[in-house]
Amino acid sequence: MLSAKNLKITFNAGTPIENRALRGLSLDIPTGQFVSVIGSNGAGKSTFLNAISGDLLVDEGSVTIDHTDVTRKHAWERADLVARVFQDPMAGTCEALTIEENMALAMARGRRRGFSFALNRQNRELFREKLAILNLGLEKRLTDRIGLLSGGQRQAVSLLMASLQPSRILLLDEHTAALDPKTAAFVLELTARIIEESKLTAMMVTHSMRQALDYGSRTVMLHQGQVVLDVSGKEREGMDVPHLLEMFERTRGEKVSDDALLLD
Amino acid sequence: MTLYSFMGALEIGLIFSLVALGVLISFRILNFPDLTVDGTFPLGGAVAATLIASGSDPFTATLVATAAGAFAGMLTGWFNVRLRIMDLLAGILLMTALYSINLRIMGKPNVPLIFEPTVFSVLLPGVLPDYIEKPLLLVVVVLVIKFALDWFFSSETGLAMRATGANPRMARAQGVATGRAKLAGLALSNALVSLAGALFAQSQGGSDISMGIGTIVIGLAAVIIGESVLPARRLIWMTLAVIIGAVLYRFFIALALNSEFIGLKSQDLNLVASLLVTFVLVLPILKRNLRLRGRQGG
């Protein structure tokens, strides 16, 4: 399970552009739970995700994954525990490398890398099998550079890559935001399927309230670097977007001004 | 061009193909514009020549020279990764420092190797004239190194190094310690350049403090010429391309300097080199302009 306690991160501390991105954020995610995280621009969603992945080290607080304290560990030292898919399709894969090379990189996530060939008949066979699930014909394009793929195809491959090795938590950072609606729906369905099949613990940051309610079993809302809303179980079932908005406004005593949050 | 000058150009071209492979690793694979090579090329020459002149075995001397280059490359990496000095500046700092260090190593501006044993004098059977056997031996050496590099970059560790250059954030997310990968890559790159310097000193009769000037230009020229002669994305072709590039570059230079009607002399070497690189760099633009003009005409 993941346990984040009292996380604080301040950017540009002590300057006029000081930004207190996380202000004592705490969240526990039990093993096997799929949590959707929502919040307006600047709520601290991405900062929170980066604090879990180790891309950012927190100023205060602690991050524990499966009873291992990873607070001071860098991203590459946590890679055995954390898998992630980035928002930008360009960010999660290596454009200049082939599909199979990208997958081979992900295959070694969190393991010691040696001097044996990164690609061999066995893992090529495995990659082909995995890619075939996508139904995009990519299993015939193992040696194509990944830069030749569309954004949606790249995100789909990123998802596969994240699931090649076991992880304690899968982080999805608005991973469908850069895609057209149809492709986004496809990638979302794929996400749900992979999480379900491998019984992954996952945290999905999204900009859309609809998505947040439709996927996963718990929804958390961030505002000004803190958790302001945490719904799951019965309360969450049958909840719709206006209802969620109303709850948010009641807790904060203010109106949601970010239009993007209202969009489906 | 006589056979003698042809083989001479081939010999130096092959030695510089090791520089080109080093530059390929830093500039292209690691995406790190490393100027240390202007210092590590003469470093290799200085270490090898000084050791041989003081009675050391030429193979040991060459090996120590290569290791010295690796260490210098690692320092550049350390300056950049740990001390957060900009990549270009880190290389310039090391290159400048190495000028003094090379002088210290040699104790004087040049160390001649005339009668001392070299890797060439020991290895060559002496059946054919030297100027034919030397390039043949170098072809073998360069090819062995090329295939070793191809193997390394297709291994798990090598792939991690390529990812470090191509997309460091992604590499870290996959558990690659990108800082360490950068250090190792720069060590490998500068080891190759230093080896080239050691071989150059042994083939050209000694080491000179000024022999490093323009190394980076030659290395880059080789890489760029190679890429335009043999455009390829796969690494095994890229390593071959830069070797061809280094040899071709040397032939162009030899042609330019040997054509008496142009009136160029050997002191014009660096001017010709820079012009040549500039020409290769603007070649894509010239090509496009020509194509556009052709379309208008048609």
Question: How many CB pairs below 8 Å do chains A and B form together?
Answer: 94
- Which residues in chain A touch residue B233, judged by CB atoms under 8 angstroms apart? 96, 145
pLDDT at B298 > cutoff 50: no
Q: Which residues, 6+ apart, have CB-to-CB distance to A120 below 8 Å? A: none
Q: How far is B160 from chain A (nearest CA, A)?
A: 7
pLDDT band at B236; cut points 50, 70, 90: very high
pLDDT for A264: 44
Torsion of CA B157, B158, B163, B165, to 10 degrees: 120
Q: How far is CA B242 from CA A152, B14, B189, in A?
A: 35, 10, 14
In this prediction the pTM is: 0.90
pLDDT at B297 > cutoff 60: no
Contact B8, B254 (CB under 8 A): yes
A91/B contact by beta carbon, under 8 A: yes
Model pLDDT for residues A141-190, shown as the tens digit of each residue: 999 999 999 999 999 999 999 999 999 999 999 999 888 889 999 999 99
- Which residues in chain B touch residue A93, judged by CB atoms under 8 angstroms apart? 167, 170
First to last CA, chain A: 30
- B contact set with A (CB within 8 A): 152, 154-160, 162-163, 166-167, 169-178, 233
CB atoms within 10 A of CB A66: 13
Q: Where are the domains of chain A?
A: 2-262
pLDDT for A39: 87
Torsion sign over Cα B9, B11, B15, B20: positive
pLDDT at B295 > cutoff 90: no
Ranges of H-type helices in A42-120: 45-53, 75-78, 99-107
pLDDT for A116: 93
pLDDT for B21: 98
Domains in chain B: ranges and CATH: 3-297 (1.10.3470)
The helix/strand/coil state of A181 is helix
pLDDT for A262: 53
Binned average pLDDT, 10 residues per bin, chain A of 264 residues: 94 91 94 92 90 94 94 94 93 94 94 93 95 93 94 94 93 91 92 92 91 92 90 86 82 60 51
A 42-61 → B contacts, CB under 8 A: 53, 55
Model pLDDT for residues B263-291, shown as the tens digit of each residue: 777 778 778 878 887 888 788 788 888 88
Of 3.40.50.300, 3.40.50.620, 3.50.30.30, 1.10.10.10, the CATH number of A2-262 is 3.40.50.300
